[in-house]
Structure 1
């Protein structure tokens, strides 16, 4: 999936996420999260938690659901399209990946980030 419509600060993490390198995506997004405030902080925190949930599922045998539900608390108040990412579609893909072997979600991108 093309990441050129994303917020530029999130692109590296998005590319890692889309390759299934969830821990590395988490690490790439962390500096963005540390600098962010308000809705943007919740958005990036949600992405980090989704990546952590997938990492735990595939590398530690955990269901990852605890981090998934924490992520929802950050993402659900945001509009469906935020920061160039279609959040509801992403949430659904991650939930499926946590319960089905062989599922690797991709960050669903939408309109360009302003």
Structure 2
């Protein structure tokens, strides 16, 4: 069962409210001890990576997605009611896409992501070889 604060952070992440997610998870991270501390930090880093992407900060997005996925690797497949394997795989796919995208092409990538997410339909992350949405956190405790 997810704690209320972690549940709030997951919901913020999935609504793409990455700055709010950062604030929520940072409070959890600062008050926790290992092994939870690194777990929260990994999710937090992925959220901040997505926030950087939204602000067209290619370098910040790549660095934080890489650090976050690395940090979450040993929490797979699941941890604290979260499908960590799913989050890591989706985040790595986003990272790979960014690494293959020149920074000056971020506006086009973001346009594709924003157009795909505006319908409210749950799309696959990749369709026809094109990234269609940002990573999502899947809960396994409900």
TM superposition score normalised by structure 2: 0.68
Find 2:30's aligned residue among 34, 37, 55. 34
Question: Contact 1:18/1:106 (CA < 8 Å) preserved in 2?
Answer: yes
Question: Contact 1:84/1:110 (CA < 8 Å) preserved in 2?
Answer: yes
CA distance in structure 2 between the aligned counterparts of 1:81 and 1:18, rounded to whole angstroms: 17
Alignment partner, residue 109 of structure 1? 139
TM superposition score normalised by structure 1: 0.82
Alignment size in residue pairs = 108
Over the residues paired in the alignment, what is the CA RMSD in angstroms?
1.9
Consecutive unaligned residues in structure 1, runs of 5 or more: none
CA distance in structure 1 between the aligned counterparts of 2:19 and 2:93, rounded to whole angstroms: 19
Question: Contact 1:7/1:84 (CA < 8 Å) preserved in 2?
Answer: no
Report whether the alignment pairs 1:50 with 2:46: yes
- Describe the shift of the 1:19–1:10 C-alpha distance in structure 2 as closer, same or farther (beyond 3 A): same
Alignment partner, residue 15 of structure 2? 19
Following TM superposition, the consecutive aligned residue runs of length 4 or more in structure 1 with deviations greater than 6 angstroms are none
Question: Contact 1:12/1:28 (CA < 8 Å) preserved in 2?
Answer: yes
**Secondary structure of the structure 2 residue equivalent to 1:77:** helix
Consecutive unaligned residues in structure 2, runs of 5 or more: 99-108, 114-132
User: Which is worse superposed, 86-95 or 22-31?
Assistant: 86-95
